[in-house]
């Protein structure tokens, strides 16, 4: 087990060492009190000091199409190191703003770049040289140095039509606005930034990025769950598996009215830790212990059910290996599950067999998983429709 | 299209609405010349409520064709709660897809109806081996006794005795009850046939057009402590208190006798009598060890 722990630390150290090497090589790009580059577009709101939060754009010292730097939907297949390097290029400019203050000039500028369909040339001037730091909160993607903004200039934004329409519609509830954007094919990461920047709904306010990620996944997955409750229940078990970035995912669909459990296992100082949350068709009704991963994974699987117009019970297992040395954000759970659901499934004879298939690629055994979750207990509850 | 119903006692309507509110947020009612019915399941399909409210239970009832109307239970409930016990409540449906609610003589509300979904819910095909009839206060007391230990209630019948029990992390509980009543008349037996075969238990309307005026004559059952237990075959069933408690609380306060019918590892049916003539059937799927 010690070996596993070392792996994790080694990877983290090696990635960060390379990053520091980078910093010293291109030090001139970062060690100035200003930065000129194209924001992907990207904005970030911290939760520190809430409700007076630190808000600002993220800008890399590169000009051109930087879209990829803040588009997790396009990162599947990249290595942990590639992703971290993308992100650490982003310098985060901040100003302290009250969450209620969504009409100031600074915030309006940020809303405008959030709406943009392409990268925007940006010039940030800082009060002092941004400290070379790495920020990891587990929910959001990491980013690099942070500096307090003295002056900011953006040029050449071009707005995305569906977002512009929603932005000026002050009668639309924020949940309906999120769904409208989702249904017009806007990426989740972009919807989440609009949500965060207080651009949706009737009562508008700024929402810290990590909360807005969870809220967006929750709103969309809840809406899709309501939809699939009307679809027929599948008649056999399906198992989907996928691994990326040191995360092993297995999804089991089984014949049942909508119930959902996600169980996570991780290695902490050589010891296995577990967490789980679950719901039935009445919803979860409390904050999940496994936080944003719960909604992100749920979104990936209900998208599949909604696309296929079917309903099922769902168990998602996520084993987090020590190789996942740097948390890159819950987007990787969403995209991991989406990817798993795009591969053709294995069919199982029954629930037990399905769990055998699901746990086969994992180090944690079936019985261990089941004892950490509630699904077996939940399935003891029959439904009235079992007796029709 | 005419639909107008006057409820003499606001409490009856409050009871019916609060029983529905324990399961769903939106409810579709069906009004015919014979009365008003509601049938729906909670989102997880664990429980089902089947309500039958015959025209005879209303002070005045007029309905010349079948009317479906959907309401958001919370909105409807807020308004009905404004009525005091002695207030009458009149409801009707307007052409503009609105429900008009008049409390007493001159407090008038209009609420927007919601699109009623057309899915028809069947009743479970089950027969009942055991039947327990008891006062609502006695049932509430026993459920409370079990809930301090367990989230689930196990009911077991043994001849003329019944046991309400539960197990939890902290321990176990069992509450026994015995039949108390001396019977001079034959006891009512559990329903033998599947309820789906039942016709709605609505008395025939006096007139074909259903436009008669009815006056309520009966009073609600006098609360007594008698317990009736009938077991064709001794049965054991386990049911979630998370579902059972709220509905018993919601309807129980209106007093009256409650009948629980079940068979081993099959759904439980709880019957509440409301407004003397109307009834609420609450079906709850069992928890089954497998």
Q: How much is the pLDDT for A157?
A: 76
Instruction: Determine which helix (DSSP H) or strand (DSSP E) holds B136, and give its type and residue range.
Output: helix B136-147
Q: Are A243 and A375 found together in one domain?
A: yes
Flag whether residue B49 sits within 8 Å of chain A, measured between CB atoms: no
Percent of chain B whose pLDDT exceeds 70: 82
pLDDT at B121 exceeding the cut of 80:
yes
pLDDT at A5 exceeding the cut of 90:
no
Cβ contacts of A63 within 8 Å, gap of 6 or more: A36, A37, A38, A121
In a domain, A122, yes or no: yes
* C-alpha pair distances (Å), B149 with each of A381, B232, B244: 19, 30, 15
Diameter of chain B by CA atoms?
60
Q: How much is the pLDDT for B198?
A: 46
Q: How confident is the model over B242-269, as pLDDT tens digits?
A: 999 999 999 977 767 899 999 999 999 9
Alpha-carbon span B285 to B44, nearest angstrom: 11
Helix orientation angle between B136-147 and B241-252, rounded to the nearest 10 degrees: 150
Please name which of B128, B169, B132 lies closest in space to residue B152, comparing C-alpha atoms: B169
Q: How much is the pLDDT for A89?
A: 85
Structure tokens at B193: 């046939």
Cβ contacts of B50 within 8 Å, gap of 6 or more: B37, B38, B39, B123, B280, B281, B282, B283
B193 Ramachandran zone, left/alpha/beta (phi>0; psi -120 to 50): beta
What is the distance, to the nearest Å, from the Cα of residue B49 to the centroid of all Cα atoms in its chain?
7
Q: How confident is the model over A300-341, as pLDDT tens digits?
A: 999 999 999 999 999 999 999 998 988 889 999 999 999 999
Q: How much is the pLDDT for A205?
A: 97
Flag whether residue A259 sits within 8 Å of chain B, measured between CB atoms: yes
Q: Please give the class, per CATH, of domain B130-194+219-284.
A: alpha beta
Q: Which residues of A touch B286 (CB under 8 A)?
A: 382
In a domain, A197, yes or no: no
Q: CB burial class (10 A; 0-12, 13-18, 19+) of residue A169?
A: middle
Q: Are A26 and A129 found together in one domain?
A: yes
For residue A150, the enclosing domain spans 2-160
Q: How much is the pLDDT for A1?
A: 39
Average pLDDT of the residues in B165-178 = 96
- Torsion sign over Cα B19, B23, B27, B31: negative
Q: Are A234 and A105 found together in one domain?
A: no
**Phi, psi (deg, nearest 5) at residue A364:** -85, 130
> Are B285 and A259 in contact (CB < 8 Å)?
no
Alpha-carbon span B12 to B7, nearest angstrom: 8
Q: Which of A132, A160, A188 is the last residue of a domain?
A: A160
Flag whether residue B46 sits within 8 Å of chain A, measured between CB atoms: yes
Average pLDDT of the residues in A197-226 = 97
- Mean pLDDT in chain A? 92
pLDDT at B219 exceeding the cut of 80:
no
Q: Which of A110, A138, A160 is the last residue of a domain?
A: A160
Q: Which residues of A touch B284 (CB under 8 A)?
A: 384
Q: How much is the pLDDT for A325?
A: 85
CA distance B102 to chain A (A): 31
pLDDT interval class at A2 (50, 70, 90): very low
**Phi, psi (deg, nearest 5) at residue A74:** -105, 10
**How does A295-308 read in b/e, with b if 16+ C-beta sit within 10 Å?**
bbbbbbbbbbbbee
Helix orientation angle between A2-25 and A80-88, rounded to the nearest 10 degrees: 40
pLDDT interval class at A20 (50, 70, 90): confident
* Residue among A283, A382, A388 minimizing CB distance to B122: A388
Contact A172, A194 (CB under 8 A): no
Single pTM value for the model: 0.88
Choose the most confident range, by mean pLDDT, from A59-68, A234-243, B89-98, B205-214.
A234-243
Q: Is the peptide bond before A335 cis (omega within 30 degrees of 0)?
A: no
CA distance B114 to chain A (A): 16
Number of domains chain A contains: 2
pLDDT interval class at B181 (50, 70, 90): low
Alpha helical stretches, state H, B204-258: 241-252
CA distance A91 to chain B (A): 47
Q: How much is the pLDDT for B206?
A: 42
Query: How many cross-chain Cβ pairs, A to B, lie less than 8 Å apart?
Result: 57
Alpha-carbon span A307 to A253, nearest angstrom: 15
Q: How much is the pLDDT for B118?
A: 59
Please name which of A122, A124, A120 lies closest in space to residue A151, comparing C-alpha atoms: A124
pLDDT at B213 exceeding the cut of 50:
no
Say which CATH superfamily domain B3-112 falls into: DNA Polymerase III, subunit A, domain 2 (3.10.150.10)
Q: How much is the pLDDT for A274?
A: 96
Q: How much is the pLDDT for B131?
A: 97
Q: Are A248 and A381 found together in one domain?
A: yes
Q: How much is the pLDDT for A268?
A: 83
Q: How confident is the model over B73-83, as pLDDT tens digits?
A: 999 999 999 99
CA distance A154 to chain B (A): 47
Structure tokens at B132: 């327990």
Q: CB burial class (10 A; 0-12, 13-18, 19+) of residue A361?
A: middle
pLDDT at A3 exceeding the cut of 60:
no
pLDDT at A80 exceeding the cut of 70:
yes
3-state secondary structure of B79: helix
Flag whether residue A380 sits within 8 Å of chain B, measured between CB atoms: yes
Q: How much is the pLDDT for B188?
A: 60
3-state secondary structure of A30: helix
Q: Which of A109, A130, A160 is the last residue of a domain?
A: A160
Alpha-carbon span B145 to B157, nearest angstrom: 18
In a domain, A211, yes or no: no
What is the distance, to the nearest Å, from the Cα of residue B19 to the centroid of all Cα atoms in its chain?
7
In a domain, A175, yes or no: no
pLDDT at A257 exceeding the cut of 60:
yes
In a domain, A169, yes or no: no
Q: How much is the pLDDT for A76?
A: 86
CA angle A100, A106, A112 (to 5 degrees): 95
What is the distance, to the nearest Å, from the Cα of residue A168 to the centroid of all Cα atoms in its chain?
26
> Are B45 and A380 in contact (CB < 8 Å)?
no
> Are B285 and A381 in contact (CB < 8 Å)?
yes
pLDDT at B173 exceeding the cut of 50:
yes
| ipTM entry | 0.85
Place of tokens 């969504």: A102
Q: Are A147 and A244 found together in one domain?
A: no
Flag whether residue A350 sits within 8 Å of chain B, measured between CB atoms: no
Percent of chain A whose pLDDT exceeds 70: 94
In a domain, A184, yes or no: no
Q: Are A250 and A138 found together in one domain?
A: no
Flag whether residue B217 sits within 8 Å of chain A, measured between CB atoms: no
Average pLDDT of the residues in A3-21 = 70
Q: Are A243 and A377 found together in one domain?
A: yes
Closest chain B residue to the Cα of A229, Cα to Cα: B43
3-state secondary structure of A86: helix
Which range among A44-53, A207-216, B255-264 shows the weakest confidence by mean pLDDT? B255-264
Structure tokens at B72: 């958001």
Which range among A176-180, A236-240, B188-192, B200-204 shows the weakest confidence by mean pLDDT? B200-204
pLDDT interval class at A23 (50, 70, 90): low
Flag whether residue B8 sits within 8 Å of chain A, measured between CB atoms: no
Which of A230, A384, A385 to substitute to test the interface with B, most B CBs within 10 Å? A384
Cβ contacts of B203 within 8 Å, gap of 6 or more: B34, B54, B56, B277
Q: How much is the pLDDT for B155?
A: 98
Q: How confident is the model over A119-157, as pLDDT tens digits?
A: 999 999 999 988 767 666 667 777 888 899 999 999 977
CA distance B58 to chain A (A): 31
**Residues of A (36-75) whose Cβ lies below 8 Å from B:** none
Alpha-carbon span A366 to B217, nearest angstrom: 63
Which range among A94-103, B209-218, B275-284 shows the weakest confidence by mean pLDDT? B209-218
pLDDT at A96 exceeding the cut of 70:
yes
Flag whether residue B23 sits within 8 Å of chain A, measured between CB atoms: no
Helix orientation angle between A188-196 and A105-115, rounded to the nearest 10 degrees: 170
3-state secondary structure of A24: helix
Closest chain A residue to the Cα of B240, Cα to Cα: A381
Alpha-carbon span B18 to B74, nearest angstrom: 9
What is the distance, to the nearest Å, from the Cα of residue B198 to the centroid of all Cα atoms in its chain?
16
Per the model's pLDDT, the better-predicted residue between B2 and B184 turns out to be B2
pLDDT interval class at B103 (50, 70, 90): very high
- Mean pLDDT in chain B? 86
Range(s) within chain B of domains with CATH label 3.10.150.10:
3-112, 130-194+219-284
Q: How much is the pLDDT for B120?
A: 84
Average pLDDT of the residues in A288-295 = 94
């Amino acid at each position: 087990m010690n070996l596993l722990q070392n792996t994790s630390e080694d990877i983290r150290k090696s990635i960060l060492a390379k990053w520091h090497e980078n910093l010293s090589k291109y030090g001139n790009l970062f060690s100035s009190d200003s930065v000129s580059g194209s924001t992907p577009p990207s904005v970030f709101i911290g939760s520190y000091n809430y409700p007076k939060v630190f808000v600002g754009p993220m800008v890399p010292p590169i000009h051109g199409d930087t879209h990829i730097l803040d588009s997790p939907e396009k990162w599947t297949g990249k290595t942990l190191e590639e992703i971290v390097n993308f992100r650490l290029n982003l310098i985060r400019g901040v100003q302290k703003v009250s969450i209620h203050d969504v009409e100031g000039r600074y915030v309006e500028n940020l809303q405008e770049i959030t709406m943009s369909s392409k990268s925007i040339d940006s010039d940030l001037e800082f009060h002092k040289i941004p400290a070379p730091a790495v920020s990891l909160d587990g929910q959001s993607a990491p980013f690099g140095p942070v500096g307090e903004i003295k002056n900011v200039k953006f040029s050449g934004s071009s707005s995305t039509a569906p977002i512009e329409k929603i932005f000026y519609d002050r009668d639309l509830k924020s949940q309906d606005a999120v769904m409208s954007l989702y249904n017009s094919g806007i990426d989740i990461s972009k919807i989440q930034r609009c949500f965060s920047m207080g651009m949706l709904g009737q009562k508008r306010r700024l929402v810290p990025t990590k909360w807005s990620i969870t809220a967006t996944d929750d709103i969309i997955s809840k809406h899709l769950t309501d939809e699939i409750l009307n679809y027929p229940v599948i008649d056999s078990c399906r198992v989907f598996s996928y691994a990326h970035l040191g995360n092993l995912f297995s999804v089991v669909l089984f014949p049942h009215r909508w119930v959902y459990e996600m169980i996570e296992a991780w290695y902490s100082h050589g010891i296995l830790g577990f967490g789980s949350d679950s719901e039935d068709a009445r919803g979860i009704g409390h904050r999940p212990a496994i936080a944003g991963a719960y909604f992100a994974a749920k979104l990936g699987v209900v998208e599949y059910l909604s696309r296929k117009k079917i309903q099922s019970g769902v168990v998602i297992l996520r084993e987090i290996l020590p190789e996942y040395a740097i948390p890159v954000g819950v987007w990787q759970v969403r995209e991991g599950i989406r990817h798993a659901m795009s591969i053709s499934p294995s069919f199982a004879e029954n629930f037990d067999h399905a769990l055998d298939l699901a746990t086969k690629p994992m180090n944690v055994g079936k019985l261990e998983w089941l004892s950490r979750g509630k699904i077996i207990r939940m399935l003891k509850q029959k439904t009235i429709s079992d007796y029709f | 299209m005419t639909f107008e119903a006057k409820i003499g006692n606001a409490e009856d309507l409050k009871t019916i609405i609060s029983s529905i509110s324990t399961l769903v947020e939106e409810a579709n009612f069906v009004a015919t010349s014979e009365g008003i019915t509601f049938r729906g399941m909670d989102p997880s399909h664990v429980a089902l409520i089947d309500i039958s409210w015959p025209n005879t239970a209303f002070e005045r009832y007029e309905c010349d064709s079948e009317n479906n109307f959907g309401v958001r239970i919370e909105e409807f409930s807020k308004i009905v709660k404004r009525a005091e016990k002695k207030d009458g409540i009149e409801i009707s449906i307007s052409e503009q897809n609105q429900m008009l609610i008049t409390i007493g003589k001159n407090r008038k509300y209009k609420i927007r109806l919601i699109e009623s979904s057309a899915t028809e819910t069947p009743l479970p095909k089950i027969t009942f081996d055991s039947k327990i009839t008891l006062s609502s206060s006695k049932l509430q007391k026993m459920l409370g006794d079990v809930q301090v230990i367990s989230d689930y209630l196990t009911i077991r019948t043994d001849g003329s005795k019944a046991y309400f029990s539960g197990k939890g992390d902290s321990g176990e509980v069992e509450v026994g009850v015995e039949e108390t009543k001396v019977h001079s008349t034959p006891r009512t037996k559990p329903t033998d046939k599947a309820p789906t075969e039942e016709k709605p238990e609505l008395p025939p309307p006096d007139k074909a057009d259903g436009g008669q005026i009815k006056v309520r004559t009966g009073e609600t059952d006098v609360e007594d402590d008698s317990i009736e237990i009938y077991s064709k075959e001794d049965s054991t069933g386990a049911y979630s208190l998370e579902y059972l408690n709220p509905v018993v609380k919601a309807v129980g306060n209106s007093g009256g006798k409650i009948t629980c019918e079940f068979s081993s590892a099959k759904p439980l049916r709880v019957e509440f009598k409301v407004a003397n003539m109307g009834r609420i059937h609450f079906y709850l799927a069992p928890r089954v060890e497998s």
